[in-house]
Structure 1
Amino acid sequence: MFIAILTYKKPIEEVDRFLQAHRDYLAEHYAAGDFIASGPQTPRIGGVIMIKADNREAVDSIIVQ
């Protein structure tokens, strides 16, 4: 298992423009069995994703999208 900690580099208003695409990405990887859990950080400065993978190369292939 791996944990990806995401930190926004743009203002939250710009991040929100891509929220639906991000949710679609999450849904795709939950359906594939890649993701175990995910959610926003509090305060809302990024997010966290628990990834089911055997090695870092597998994680890289998932998060490159």
Structure 2
Amino acid sequence: MYVINLRYTGALAEIDDALDAHRLFLERQFAAGVFVMAGPKVPREGGIIVASAIERDRLDTILAEDPFAQQKLAHYEVIEFKAMRLAPGLNLPTPREA
């Protein structure tokens, strides 16, 4: 699994202009079972995405499709970890092959 820490590098006005496209990108990755959780940081200086266990190269390719990445509005720090415990009642999706 991965935690992706986005740090905005663009002005908030630029972020807001790209936000609808970014949200569509997120929706596609949730539907594909790649992203498990996402949301803005507080204060609003970026966001966090939790991604399922996929190949790192595939994740990098997916992140490059984010409008924030394409417009150079965010820096991405990717942290891989092994999920060893999960709260009762939570299920992690299995990513579908592209």
Give the shorter-chain TM-score range. Answer: over 0.9
Report the Cα offset of residue 59 of structure 1.
1.4
Q: Match for residue 57 of structure 1?
A: 57
Question: What is the identity, as a one-letter code, of the residue corresponding to 2:57?
Answer: E
Report the Cα offset of residue 2 of structure 1.
0.4
Q: Percent identity?
A: 38
| Conserved? CA contact 1:53–1:59, under 8 Å | no
Q: Match for residue 33 of structure 1?
A: 33
| Conserved? CA contact 1:35–1:50, under 8 Å | yes
Q: How does 1:11-50 map to 2 (within 5 A)?
A: 11-50=11-50
In the TM superposition, structure 1's runs of 4+ consecutive aligned residues that sit over 2 Å from their partners are none
Aligned-residue Cα RMSD (Å) equals: 0.9
Deviation string for 1:6-49 (max 9, x for gaps)?
Answer: 00111111110011000100000000000000000000000000
Extract unaligned runs of 5+ from structure 2.
66-98
Task: Report the TM-score, using the length of structure 1 for normalisation.
Answer: 0.92
Extract unaligned runs of 5+ from structure 1.
none
Task: Report the TM-score, using the length of structure 2 for normalisation.
Answer: 0.63
Question: Alignment length, in residue pairs?
Answer: 65
| Conserved? CA contact 1:38–1:50, under 8 Å | yes
